[in-house]
């Protein structure tokens, strides 16, 4: 296990931000760390980075405690963009990379590579404040990965980016993972998490409420989504046993049901009623699970 | 240690290259060079021709001795006998042929009497010089009238001998004290401005890094404490660079003008023979004062999350510097007041007050040493405390601009 959190607790006075959190993340794995606002994500990240000391428990990287001597191994992309507004992109990235123990020459080479890759080579000599938010986010990402960290912490990496740039960044993240970087990743965009992470954890009020691999989580959630399109009124299905939630759509109805048995009985009901253009039984989306477990919607 | 140097150099070089820093330094250098060359500059503008005054001397005997008097006073007024009438003379003045018209006559007691006419009487220098010359002439003539010999006259005007001597050993003589006062005054000003300027710079730096959130990345690579001290040293180096540059320019321009410097401005400020110890103490107290206030400013800066709040946060600190300066100014005229003595041992006032005392008085050597020790201890205490506040403070965001936040910041760093 590369990154290991054992019974980690953080209290601020009487308030408990993180309560007895245990996680183990193997090397070269992308781990989704989810939770509503204030669930303790940032506090956990800060403890992993060594900015805050845990009130209890232990955090280790390959068996060693994480402190400033390990900082060249770690890359961090904070939720809020953090760059000097008045500094040129080049100076900025070099300064921050030097602090992670990188030599200036390597740094320039890597910077050129990344700027080309993100299709913004002309920004090297621009000041940060002259860039758009999305482009600032790209620079922020470069500062997090330029020193080839072993452990990469990404707090909301895709916020503020257009779909094209989200794809650019996603590709970069996938490539880093394939090259052996362990990535902890938080996002409120469930479709990103679903696409990128094999394992995840959903936090609520400082405690992990769901933890495991994506498949297992979906299977153990039990409920499934059922989408039916038909030309007649389907609202009577709401009252059938096994239906948890129903939402009318333009072409039919979308149901959340307790399991496959419920789907069978619904199938029989609608078959009697008439022709059905679409009848799809789906795995639950992470969004559904998140809403159920964390108790709020983020879209 | 490597990261420490990286931050130090980054802070130093990026500030050094800013336009505002370069402009401020250049302006100060120009002012310093201007002050040092002041007499030269004044001469340059003043060397224009003699002032020509037309004189209608009704008595026929006053003009020559008056010219003698004016020459003795060593000014640029030249008196020229005018042969026309008063009205013609007035016209000549109006035509700018002469600067003014002086009418000399005798009173009933055979003493000089004069009227002066000029285009405007805004320039009072000429008329008062003429008046002064005439006054002397009148005194001489009146003395002759009452049969006073020149010896008797000079006896009348001789100043009374009055000698001041300090009895205490090593005590500064009156002359030395005046010289010291000028020098201490200038150095106090430098310390005062530098401390306010650079402490402000540090607080702004920290607040900028915090509000732009770059702080989070910085402190994930380098410990906040290392970062804080690297920053303080970096700005400290910057301040010394600026000071060195200004002092160098000042030194060379003063040296160049050494001949023209006797009397007046320079002597008043005691630049003729600067005691090395005063300069050494100035440097020591400047550096210590800087560290004390810089540490304070850094941790105050770490408590705000928006740059706009920074002024409000550091106002109490600025007030403290101003108070120290005020007491020091008061102390310049009464350096031995017990109020000044006592306050010079309060750490936040020590840099200015102890320096003022050591520059003005002949203190036993333990007093400045005790002051330095007090400062060093306070700097260490403040650094330890400030570093803990800083560590928590840089992670706090939101509406935070009260001193209650110090407690909150300390709590953040505690391991319960």
Q: Do B411 and A12 touch (CB under 8 A)?
A: yes
Residue A229 CA from chain centroid, whole number: 32
Q: Above pLDDT 90, what percent of chain B?
A: 11
Cα three-residue angle B183-B269-B186, rounded to 5 degrees: 40
The pLDDT value recorded for residue A146 is 92
> Is A108 within 8 Å of chain B by CB?
no
Residues in chain B predicted with pLDDT less than 70, given as ranges, are 1, 39, 46-49, 74-75, 123, 166-175, 257-274, 397-404, 413-416
The pLDDT value recorded for residue B233 is 93
Residue A151, strand partner residues: A74, A182
> Is A11 within 8 Å of chain B by CB?
yes
Instruction: Determine the Cα–Cα distance for residues A70 and A48; give it in Å rounded to an integer.
Output: 11
CB contacts, 8 Å: A12 with chain B: 411-412
Residue A236 has pLDDT above 60, yes or no: yes
Query: Mind telling me how many Å the CA of A189 is from chain B's nearest CA?
Result: 23
Q: Are A46 and A74 in contact (CB under 8 A)?
A: no
Instruction: Determine the Cα–Cα distance for residues B33 and B26; give it in Å rounded to an integer.
Output: 10
Q: What is the DSSP letter of A88?
A: B
**H or E element: which one contains B38?**
helix B38-46
Mean pLDDT across chain A, nearest whole number? 86
Q: What is the pLDDT of residues A17-28, one digit of tens each?
A: 888 888 888 888
Query: Mind telling me how many Å the CA of B227 is from chain A's nearest CA?
Result: 11
CB contacts, 8 Å: B413 with chain A: 53
Q: Looking at the domain that runs over B52-157, which CATH code has it been given?
A: 3.40.190.10
| More confidently predicted of A81 and A198 | A198
Residue ranges of chain B assigned to CATH 3.40.190.10: 52-157
Residue A15, strand partner residues: A12
CB contacts, 8 Å: A87 with chain B: 14
pTM higher than 0.90: no
For chain A, give every domain's residue range.
3-218, 223-283
Report the pLDDT averaged over residues A205-231.
Answer: 84
Q: Are A239 and A255 in contact (CB under 8 A)?
A: no
Around Cβ B175, how many Cβ atoms within 10 Å?
Answer: 11
DSSP structure string for B304-315: -SSGGGHHHHHH
SS3 A278: strand
Residue A253, strand partner residues: A228, A248
SS3 B269: coil
The pLDDT value recorded for residue A142 is 92
The pLDDT value recorded for residue A275 is 85
Beta strand pairing call for A224-230 and A276-282: antiparallel
Instruction: Determine the Cα–Cα distance for residues A29 and A178; give it in Å rounded to an integer.
Output: 8
Q: What is the pLDDT of residues A128-144, one digit of tens each?
A: 889 888 888 999 999 99
The greatest distance separating any two alpha carbons of chain B, rounded to the nearest whole angstrom, comes to: 104
Do A3-218 and A223-283 fold alike per CATH?
Answer: no
Instruction: Determine the Cα–Cα distance for residues B394 and B397; give it in Å rounded to an integer.
Output: 8
Query: Which of A38, A148, A58, A128 is closest to A86 using CA atoms?
Result: A128
Write the residue in A13, A50, A84 that is nearest to B411 by C-beta.
A13
Q: Looking at the domain that runs over A223-283, which CATH code has it been given?
A: 3.30.70
Instruction: Determine the Cα–Cα distance for residues B44 and B209; give it in Å rounded to an integer.
Output: 50
Instruction: Determine the Cα–Cα distance for residues B52 and B73; give it in Å rounded to an integer.
Output: 16
Query: Which of A295, A292, A210 is closest to A37 using CA atoms?
Result: A295
- Could you identify the residue written with the tokens 């402009």? B23
Query: Which of B389, B403, B386, B413 is closest to B293 using CA atoms?
Result: B386
Q: Do B209 and A84 touch (CB under 8 A)?
A: yes
Q: Do A83 and B214 touch (CB under 8 A)?
A: yes
For the domain made up of A3-218, the CATH class stated in words is alpha beta
Sheet containing A182-186: order of strands:
A74-77, A151-155, A182-186, A30-35, A199-204, A207-213
Q: Do B3 and A99 touch (CB under 8 A)?
A: yes
Q: What is the pLDDT of residues A276-299, one digit of tens each?
A: 888 888 888 888 888 877 764 443
A253 Ramachandran zone, left/alpha/beta (phi>0; psi -120 to 50):
beta
> Is A99 within 8 Å of chain B by CB?
yes
Q: Do B220 and A143 touch (CB under 8 A)?
A: no
Q: Which residues contact A242 (CB under 8 A, 6 or more apart)?
A: A257, A258, A259, A261, A262, A265, A266
- Say yes or no: ipTM exceeds 0.90: no
- Could you identify the residue written with the tokens 């920053």? B231
Least confident of A182-186, A255-259, B72-76: B72-76
CB contacts, 8 Å: B215 with chain A: 82
CB pairs under 8 A between A and B: 65
> What's the half-sphere exposure (Cβ side, CA atoms, 13 Å) at B258?
6
Instruction: Determine the Cα–Cα distance for residues B32 and B282; give it in Å rounded to an integer.
Output: 18
Residue A88 CA from chain centroid, whole number: 30
SS3 B30: helix
- A124 by Cβ neighbours in 10 Å (0-12 / 13-18 / 19+) ranks as middle
Instruction: Determine the Cα–Cα distance for residues B396 and B247; give it in Å rounded to an integer.
Output: 41
> Is A293 within 8 Å of chain B by CB?
no
């Amino acid at each position: 296990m590369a990154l290991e959190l054992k019974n980690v607790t953080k209290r601020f006075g009487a308030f408990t931000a993180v309560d007895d959190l245990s996680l183990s993340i193997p090397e070269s794995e992308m781990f989704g760390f989810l939770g509503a606002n204030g669930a303790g994500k940032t506090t956990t990240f800060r403890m992993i980075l060594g900015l805050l000391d845990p009130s209890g428990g232990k955090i280790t990287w390959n068996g060693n405690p994480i402190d400033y001597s390990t900082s060249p191994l770690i890359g961090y992309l904070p939720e809020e963009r953090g760059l000097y507004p008045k500094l040129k992109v080049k100076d900025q990235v070099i300064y921050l990379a030097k602090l992670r123990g990188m030599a200036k020459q390597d740094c320039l080479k890597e910077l050129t590579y990344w700027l080309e890759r993100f299709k913004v080579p002309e920004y090297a000599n621009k000041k940060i404040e002259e860039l758009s938010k999305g482009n600032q986010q790209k620079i922020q990402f470069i500062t997090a990965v330029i020193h080839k960290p072993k452990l990469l912490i990404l707090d909301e990496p895709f916020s503020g980016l257009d779909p094209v740039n989200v794809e650019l960044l996603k590709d970069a993240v996938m490539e880093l993972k394939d090259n052996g970087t362990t990535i902890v990743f938080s996002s409120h965009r469930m479709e990103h998490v679903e696409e990128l992470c094999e394992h995840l954890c959903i936090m609520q009020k400082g405690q992990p409420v769901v933890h495991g691999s994506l498949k297992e989580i979906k299977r153990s959630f039990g409920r499934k989504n059922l989408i039916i399109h038909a030309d007649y009124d389907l609202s009577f299905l709401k009252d059938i046993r096994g239906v948890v939630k129903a939402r009318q759509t333009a072409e039919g109805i979308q149901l959340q049901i307790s399991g496959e048995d419920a789907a069978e009985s619904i199938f029989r009901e609608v078959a009697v009623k008439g022709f059905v253009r679409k009848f799809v039984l789906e795995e639950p989306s992470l969004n559904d699970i998140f809403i159920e477990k964390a108790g709020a919607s983020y879209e | 240690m490597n990261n420490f140097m990286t931050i130090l150099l980054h802070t130093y070089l990026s500030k050094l290259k800013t336009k505002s820093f370069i402009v401020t330094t250049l302006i100060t250098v120009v002012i310093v060079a201007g002050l040092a060359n002041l007499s030269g500059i004044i001469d340059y503008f003043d060397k224009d021709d003699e002032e020509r005054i037309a004189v209608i001397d009704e008595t026929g005997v006053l003009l020559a001795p008056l010219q003698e008097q004016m020459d003795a006073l060593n000014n640029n007024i030249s008196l020229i006998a005018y042969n026309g009438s008063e009205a013609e003379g007035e016209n000549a003045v109006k035509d700018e042929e002469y600067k003014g018209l002086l009418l000399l006559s005798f009173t009933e007691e055979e003493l000089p009497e004069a009227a002066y006419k000029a285009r405007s009487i805004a320039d009072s220098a000429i008329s008062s010089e003429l008046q002064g010359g005439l006054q002397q002439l009148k005194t001489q003539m009146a003395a002759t009238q009452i049969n006073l010999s020149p010896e008797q006259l000079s006896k009348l005007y001789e100043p009374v001998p009055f000698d001041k001597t300090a009895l205490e050993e090593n005590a500064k003589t009156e002359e030395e004290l005046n010289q010291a006062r000028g020098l201490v005054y200038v150095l106090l000003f430098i310390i005062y401005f530098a401390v306010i300027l650079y402490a402000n710079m540090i607080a702004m730096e920290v607040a900028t890094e915090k509000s732009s959130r770059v702080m989070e990345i910085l402190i994930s690579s380098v410990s906040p404490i290392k970062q804080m001290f690297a920053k303080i040293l970096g700005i400290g180096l910057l301040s010394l660079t600026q000071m060195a540059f200004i002092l160098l320019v000042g030194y060379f321009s003063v040296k160049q003008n050494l001949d023209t410097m006797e009397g007046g401005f320079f002597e008043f400020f005691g630049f003729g023979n600067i005691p090395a110890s005063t300069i050494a103490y100035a440097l020591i107290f400047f550096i210590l004062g800087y560290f004390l206030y810089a540490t304070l400013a850094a941790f105050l800066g770490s408590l705000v999350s928006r740059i706009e709040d920074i002024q409000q946060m550091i106002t109490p600190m600025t007030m403290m510097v101003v108070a120290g300066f005020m007491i020091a100014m008061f102390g310049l005229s009464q350096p031995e007041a017990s109020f000044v003595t006592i306050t010079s041992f309060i750490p936040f006032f020590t840099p200015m007050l102890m320096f003022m005392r050591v520059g003005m008085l002949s203190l036993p050597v333990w007093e400045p040493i005790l002051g330095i020790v007090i400062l060093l201890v306070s700097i260490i205490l403040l650094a330890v405390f400030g570093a803990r506040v800083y560590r928590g403070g840089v992670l706090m965001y939101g509406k935070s601009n009260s001193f209650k936040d110090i407690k909150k910041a300390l709590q953040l760093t505690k391991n319960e």
